[in-house]
Amino acid sequence: MSVTAAAGFEASGVVAGLKSSGAPDVALVVNRGRSTAAAAVFTSNRAKANPVLWSQQVIADGRVDAVVLNSGGANCFTGAFGFQTTHSTAETVAAALGVSATDVLVCSTGLIGVGDQTFRDKVLSGSTAAADALSVDGGLDAATAIMTTDTKPKQAVVSGDGWVVGGMAKGAGMLAPGLATMLVVLTTDADVDASGLDSALREATRVTFDRLDSDGCMSTNDTVVLLASAESGVAPPAGDFAAAVTALCADLAEQLQADAEGASHDIRIEIVGAASDDDAVEVGRSIARNNLFKAAVFGNDPNWGRVLAAIGTTSAEFDPYDVDVTINGVRVCHAGAPDRPSDDVDLTPRAVHVLVDLKTGPVEATILTNDLTHDYVHENSAYSS
């Protein structure tokens, strides 16, 4: 299960010294296929890191030969020097591979404000080393090198009819809609042009990564890129390809949720009976961002009143006294009033399912989140120390 599962791709992950732990911290994914079609989506945060600013220009023509990624420093709010570091990184990779720097996507993750000469030197030397280490078996190394506070690498593969989609992701904190704090590289050997890739990727991220809301905090570096080599020689129907990309993104999004910093519960908030998609998503996100509700789940307290209170802050169409709330299979609220006793709800398992029926229409949506724990507060209070 790796970013090199699709034919035509090589990857690597090396130690450049960016992390004090000595763990791998520079990764490279290269498309060696007959096609270099690509698509990408980025953070919607107005405060964008230098690699995002660079990569938005690179992807404009729908072609990408390589993606270089570093952990150990976000290269964000590092001024003109930081943007030049990104440009130099692309040039270093391009020289090693014999391609154009304007076809090299650059991604960074780590602490904001890190980007001095030492950082640049390590990223550039690591990029050269990563190019030398490329292998069709290098997917796991690459997935490991992009980790920051992640506890495990995240990889997934979905097989089509004679073609494959594979990918890797990183992310554990600052997970909120707008792509969450993630770097994701997806690859396929299907024969799909840049327009088809863009359509499939945007639909997939809309219902997966953009519906992962761990802590309501949006990052500056989020990037999700999809590369196609066409090495399978198969041009799948657009619907089949989009479904595979969505399934792959859903798998990776759930892995990100499961690795959220300090979380002890994975919460799936399912909204049904909504009048519109916007209503369903708004209600789900409101619950996912409600710290009182998330703290209650951490304490194994099925406090459904906090769910209704969160819903009430939205502009969605619903009658507060006609809403049902079910937690882990127990309907604790019916028509805005108590139903079965809260003591009937078992919140000791890690998986928590919250079902909210708005009873205003046929639309459904699911938002993924997690509980608010002591460990999350501690880890993020000491992140830069």
Whole-model pTM: value is 0.92
Q: pLDDT tens digits for 125-155? A: 999 999 999 999 999 999 999 998 888 999 9
How many Å apart are CA 190 and CA 186, to the nearest integer?
12
What pLDDT score was predicted for residue 175? 56
How far, CA to CA in Å, does 313 sit from each of 149, 212, 269, 287, 365? Answer: 32, 20, 16, 10, 18
Tally of CA atoms within 13 A in the half-sphere of 163 that contains its CB = 22
Assign domain 266-381 to its CATH superfamily.
Answer: ArgJ beta chain, C-terminal domain (3.10.20.340)
> Looking at the domain 9-258, which fold is it?
L-amino peptidase D-ALA esterase/amidase (3.60.70)
What pLDDT score was predicted for residue 180? 46
Residues assigned a catalytic role: 181
Q: pLDDT tens digits for 77-118? A: 999 999 999 999 999 999 999 999 999 999 999 889 988 999
Comparing 306 with 20, the larger pLDDT belongs to 306
Give the start-to-end residue ranges of the domains of the chain: 9-258, 266-381
**Would the pLDDT of 296 be above 50?**
yes
**Would the pLDDT of 294 be above 80?**
yes
Q: pLDDT tens digits for 314-347? A: 999 999 999 999 999 999 999 999 999 999 999 9
How many Å apart are CA 101 and CA 66, to the nearest integer?
9
- Phi, psi (degrees; rounded to nearest 5) at 384: -100, 5
